[in-house]
Chains A and B, each alone.
Chain A
């Protein structure tokens, strides 16, 4: 049993580091891709192809002046970004990063915690995310920051609803709340996206809104809010807020891939004739390719679509996404009834 605990600890550390490194480089990739989309080259001065750029950005953020408004609530002011960062990282615990590794007599699952309510856990964690933003905006004691936080909170809550609804259809189909089982059921090419296209669209759109990504990046609106909920933040505290957005993006991509695109499953995985362990490793690689694609999609959409207006955003969430999610549930219910 001890070996398993040791392995899990190692896995936690690896996943944490991986999330951080991927988020770090996602910032560079985002800037590069933004450049390419606009026929520019993007940052390429720090190191070859600019690979030291995230390091330079980090160092810059650390050395910037640490400023705290005199009227801010000191404790909450620091708590805000820390909470956001912590919550962003928490989501990674229930994602099955791969199948199992068999070494000797021990079976090591590539998942930190296979809780049987995995999806609910993800929802619980992401919905706390709103506290980080809300606390940050509130404790800054600044109208703009507060308005940004309120906008952000209402947006996140509205879209969480549609997101939850789209998941219910998946739960109805698979009959389980455990992410591991949901992924295992999508063996080979039986990906949920084929059976749940509407749910998939609703989920992806809500995920964009949850991550505060364009076209739903209302919390950060320079022209109206001077930066939104993090107006008063500087140096690494601001860095935490911005950085957690990239971690959120990574975790969201992982969740989208595991819910709708079969997680570590890939087509013809058993025709390859690989041994179990190698298959697991190949599956993990496939998983990361899927994740990369979705991270790219996040950026692709960001540099294509303009930002919603606040009322449009609300109307879209409540009057379009939510009804579609409910229709999807009803339709899934009928199909499941007919099938059995």
Chain B
């Protein structure tokens, strides 16, 4: 092993433990106590780290992985074809879906011949890894920078299409997640689902 490893410290504030006898002054403890009081006193006037949540939001990174969205295409049709790749790739097994065949009259609603009649994500199981997004060949599911709101009952955390599908008149921007690396990855023909 490298000799220098012994010198590595986690912080620069660590001190060597010593069992030396205390001097008379030290035995009174009061100087040390006053020093401690001084330290805490200076903290009274420090800048506070509190973030006042509803008013001030903590900035999240542009590729933050939050609540999912099911995207529609340019014509407002649902992109998901219920292939099940997302469910398969999900390490937490949070995704469940029921596939259905599209009728002739529904061509304006769904992009592919098959669509997800039921699409549910259990937000309590989900670990927000983003694998579903990577797996999806149809660019249908993305993670967004939105938070999953708190709920009082567990059932409410099972998000169906009513909560996941983006509304036609309020599309959700996921372009920030399309980093060059992601786009290159999606074009990679060695990946099974990109073929």
Binding site for B on A (CB under 8 A): 33, 35-41, 44, 201, 300-301, 303-305
Binding site for A on B (CB under 8 A): 30, 33, 36-37, 39-41, 43-44, 46-50, 52
Question: In the bound complex, what is the Cα–Cα distance between A305 and B49 (angstroms)?
Answer: 22
Across the interface, do A40 and B40 meet the contact criterion of CB distance under 8 Å? no
Minimum CB–CB distance from A123 to chain B (whole Å) comes to: 26
Given A41-B50, A41-B52: A36 and B36 within 8 A (CB)? no
Q: Do most interface residues of chain B lie in helix, strand or loop, or is the interface mixed?
A: helix
Across the interface, do A37 and B50 meet the contact criterion of CB distance under 8 Å? no
Across the interface, do A300 and B37 meet the contact criterion of CB distance under 8 Å? yes
Output the nearest chain A residue to B54 by Cβ-Cβ distance.
A45
Chain B residues with CB under 8 Å of A305's CB are: 33, 36
Chain B residues with CB under 8 Å of A303's CB are: 40
Given A300-B37, A305-B36: A39 and B43 within 8 A (CB)? yes
Minimum CB–CB distance from B27 to chain A (whole Å) comes to: 10
Chain B residues with CB under 8 Å of A201's CB are: 30
Chain B residues with CB under 8 Å of A41's CB are: 48, 50, 52
Minimum CB–CB distance from B42 to chain A (whole Å) comes to: 10
**What would 9 A/B residue contacts be, using CB atoms closer than 8 Å?**
A35-B50, A36-B43, A37-B44, A38-B43, A39-B49, A40-B49, A300-B37, A304-B36, A304-B39
Question: In the bound complex, what is the Cα–Cα distance between A44 and B36 (angstroms)?
Answer: 27
Chain A residues with CB under 8 Å of B30's CB are: 201
Output the nearest chain A residue to B32 by Cβ-Cβ distance.
A305
Question: In the bound complex, what is the Cα–Cα distance between A106 and B50 (angstroms)?
Answer: 55
Given A41-B50, A305-B33: A300 and B41 within 8 A (CB)? yes
Across the interface, do A304 and B40 meet the contact criterion of CB distance under 8 Å? yes
Chain A residues with CB under 8 Å of B49's CB are: 39-40
Chain A residues with CB under 8 Å of B33's CB are: 304-305
Question: In the bound complex, what is the Cα–Cα distance between A36 and B49 (angstroms)?
Answer: 10
Across the interface, do A37 and B36 meet the contact criterion of CB distance under 8 Å? no
Chain B residues with CB under 8 Å of A39's CB are: 43, 46-49
